[in-house]
Homo-oligomer: A and B are copies of this chain.
Amino acid sequence: MLLHLSTWPEVEAFLTRSRTVIIPIGSNEQHGPTGLLGTDWLCPEIIAHHAQKDHDILVGPTFNIGMAQHHLGFPGTISLRPSTFIAALRDWTLSLAGHGFTKIYFLNGHGGNVATIEAAFSEIYAEASYAGRARGFSLKLKNWWDLKEVMPLANRQFPTGHGSHATPSEIAVTQWAYPDAIKTVAYSPQIAPTGPIREALDFRARYPDGRMGSDPAQASPEKGGELVRVAAEGLIADLAAFSAEVAP
């Protein structure tokens, strides 16, 4: 069930069955010469939307702009400052908590978001403590590639050249969902360099085409479809465990 394609009475009814909602969250940022700018928010959206087709779960709108400061040297990247990102996560969460959702699950598509999402959780928990909200209100962050069986599959699919940014696995997922938007180039080098992440000018100097350690040429829609199916199964299982968790 997609929240944005539902009515408020449908959400009110859902709340009698479950107190859990999923928010796909990512970033809009360069993904090398062939990866889509939306890759990091499209991947969790694709997986969560696929998972809800056969299960009674609720998927909220996608939080599509994240922490992409170090990619601002490449056109099309849009980034929030951490302070804005934290404020927005707080507002989303308090809105949903006000309706009675007690478990909010963020399915994340961008490694660079992890630190600030956890900072936001601290800020939200702190405010919830002050406001005397009951125990049992929980926030959870899960990267889609950390769902069960996803990385083993990706490692089998891409034994070399997976890398850490503009990876063939994330590109494959978007190829499966948006086959009309597949792009190709001759990569040089075939596998991009790796190294540390600093600010934007430094990043573009180290990684001239935007990739880090990856060979996106290995991606295919078929591999993407496999990843989506495995991730969707992992998501359902992880959600069930989160929903079943009881506060002490």
Contacts and interface: CB of A to CB of B under 8 A. Distances in A.
Interface of A: 3-12, 15, 28, 30-38, 41-42, 60-62, 64-65, 67, 69-70, 72, 74-84, 86-88, 90-92, 94-96, 98-100, 112, 114-120, 122-123, 125-126, 128-130, 135-138, 178, 181, 183, 198-202, 205-206, 210, 247-248
A30 B11 CA distance: 10
A72 B98 contact: yes
A16 to B, nearest CB: 11
B77 A95 contact: yes
A86 to B, nearest CB: 6
A63 to B, nearest CB: 8
A237 to B, nearest CB: 17
Copies of this chain in the oligomer = 6
The secondary structure that dominates the A interface is helix
A76 B76 CA distance: 31
* A8, A15, A28, A34: most-surrounded residue (chain B CB, <10 A): A8
Given A80-B91, A136-B202, 11 more contacts: A4-B64, A8-B31, A11-B76, A15-B75, A75-B99, A81-B126, A84-B90, A129-B200, A135-B199, A205-B247, A205-B248
Contacts of A8: 30-33, 37, 74-77, 210
Nearest to A77: B95
Q: Which of A91, A126, A135 has the most CB of B within 10 A?
A: A126
A48 to B, nearest CB: 15
